[in-house]
Amino acid sequence: MRTSTKSSRRGASTSAAEVTNISRDGFWLLLDGREVFLPFDDFPWFRSASVGSLLRVERPTSDHLYWPDLDVDLSVESIDHPEKFPLISRGSGPTTA
């Protein structure tokens, strides 16, 4: 007797993210075969990052990017549609009264 088994897919496959270039104004990230630019003015927590920390990006899910050395999480949607995410962290510099 011949039996057939079906294997089910657990989630969609996720391609890796890769930093392809860094300039003084921001950096380029390769996502799903397209290159996107993340300006430091819009993503200020990357401005002072070392090159090594910036290059070490993980993609746990298709809409989640994570920089473990910087403890920064980003939604891919926040890169594609920054107008939907108007709040920008300004860091933890000194405060004045």
Q: Does residue 3 form part of some domain?
A: no
Res 52 pLDDT > 90: yes
pLDDT band at 96 (very low <50, low <70, confident <90, very high): very low
Q: Does residue 52 form part of some domain?
A: yes
Tokens of 58: 């993980």
Model pLDDT for residues 68-94, shown as the tens digit of each residue? 999 999 999 998 888 887 766 555 444
Res 19 pLDDT > 60: yes
* Residue 93 CA from chain centroid, whole number: 24
Q: Does residue 97 form part of some domain?
A: no
Q: Does residue 71 form part of some domain?
A: yes
What phi and psi values does residue 46 have, to the nearest 5 degrees? -95, -15
Range of the domain at 72: 18-84
Say which range, 1-10, 17-26, 30-39, 50-59, has the weakest mean pLDDT: 1-10
- How many domains in the chain? 1
Q: Does residue 89 form part of some domain?
A: no
Q: Convert 39-66 to b/e letters by CB count within 10 Å (16 or more is b).
A: ebeebebbeebeeeebeebebeeeeebb
Q: Does residue 54 form part of some domain?
A: yes
- For residue 94, what pLDDT is reported? 43
- For residue 82, what pLDDT is reported? 80
CATH number (domain holding residue 80): 3.30.2020
Q: Does residue 9 form part of some domain?
A: no
Q: How crowded is residue 94: how many other Cβ atoms within 10 Å of its Cβ? A: 4
Res 53 pLDDT > 80: yes
- For residue 83, what pLDDT is reported? 81
Contacts of 41 (CB under 8 A, 6+ apart): 25, 26
Task: For residue 30, count CB atoms less than 10 angstroms from its CB and return exposed for 0-12, middle for 13-18, buried for 19 or more.
Answer: middle
Alpha helix ranges (H) inside the chain: 51-55, 76-80
